[in-house]
Amino acid sequence: MLMRLGHAPWMQPHNRFVHRSLSMKGEHPWQVSIQSCRFKDCPGDTVGKHFCGGTLIGPRWVLTAAHCALAVLNLSSDRVQIVFGTSHIDKLAHPAARTKENDIALLKLKGRVQFSKNGPPSGLYPGIPGPELCDIQGDHVDQCVVTGYGRISEGGRSSPKLKAATILFVPTEKCQKQIPQKVIQKTMMCAGAEGRDACQGDSGGPLVCKLKGTPDNKFYLMGVTSWGIGCATPHTPGVYSEVACYMDWIKNVTKHV
């Protein structure tokens, strides 16, 4: 069983390729790369090593997975940087880590994101779902896209460029039957498609979906990439922390800034 939750695999990878396309410039502007640095304070010319993704949800906040935040704590914040687009945002500060069953965390930046004189790009932040969408069963979800710099195959190399895959929402009952060895909690959601999935290194990144009946046709941040059994394993969707279920917590933490 190959987990994407930071555990070492005990089963030989099957080298399944994860079919994803390159994300066009500006298509997913909220995606960030969380990187470790060799040197303290991450000098601006340091090329960091990507280990997790995240989503910029405000000028000073990044939403990611709790197991990514725990990795940040183990590294110490002065050896971590967030890369946004082509520029460095800043070091991480005050991550609010949760448990594995609540695999979601907020990372507070030292300062607000700085932009050029032209200001932030259009559609910088994804839409944020309301708490009433917690434990959705597909009635509201249309097209979903998962993005990241993770591996292009099980045990393979990471992608140097942001990649995206269009996947489908999988109802909890069906997901539980497809992953019987794990309990799919109410605060989790499943999504996948044949040959398309997240993989190691995509953890913490966004699952964005379009919602049925919304006139704006924008993407909403519905999930945080959490765990899965291998990468693109047939009939086995990926599992995501369901953002709507944590909206009260997110609002409570971020309202003080």
Is 203 catalytic? The answer is yes
pTM: 0.83
109 neighbors 89 (Cβ within 8 angstroms): yes
Q: What is the spatial distance between Cα 35 and Cα 40, in angstroms, rounded to a whole number? A: 13
d(CA 142, CA 120) in angstroms, rounded, equals 27
**Residue of 23, 103, 159, 241 marked active site:** 103
The yes-or-no answer on residue 226 being catalytic is: no
- Residue 19: what pLDDT? 53
Q: Which of 23, 33, 159, 203 is catalytic?
A: 203
For the cut 60, the answer to whether the pLDDT of residue 170 exceeds it is yes
* Each residue's pLDDT tens digit, 226-238: 999 988 888 999 9
Share of the chain above pLDDT 90, in %: 36
Of 17 and 102, more confident: 102
pLDDT value of residue 3: 32
**Is residue 177 over pLDDT 90?**
yes
pLDDT of 182 > 70? The answer is yes
What the chain holds in terms of domains, given with CATH numbers, is: 31-124+247-254 (2.40.10.10), 126-244 (2.40.10.10)
- Beta bridge partners of residue 105, listed in sequence order: 64
Residue in the block written with tokens 């410039």: 25
Q: What is the DSSP string of 134-190?
A: TT--SSSEEEEEEEES-BSBTT-PBPSS-EEEEEEEE-HHHHHHHSTTS---TTEEE
Q: How far is CA 217 from CA 115, 142, 214, in A?
A: 26, 10, 6
Closest CA to 188 of 245, 105, 132, 131: 245
Q: Check pLDDT > 90 for residue 70.
A: no
| Owner of token pair 């045990």 | 155
Told to judge if 235 belongs to the known catalytic residues of this protein, a careful annotator would answer no
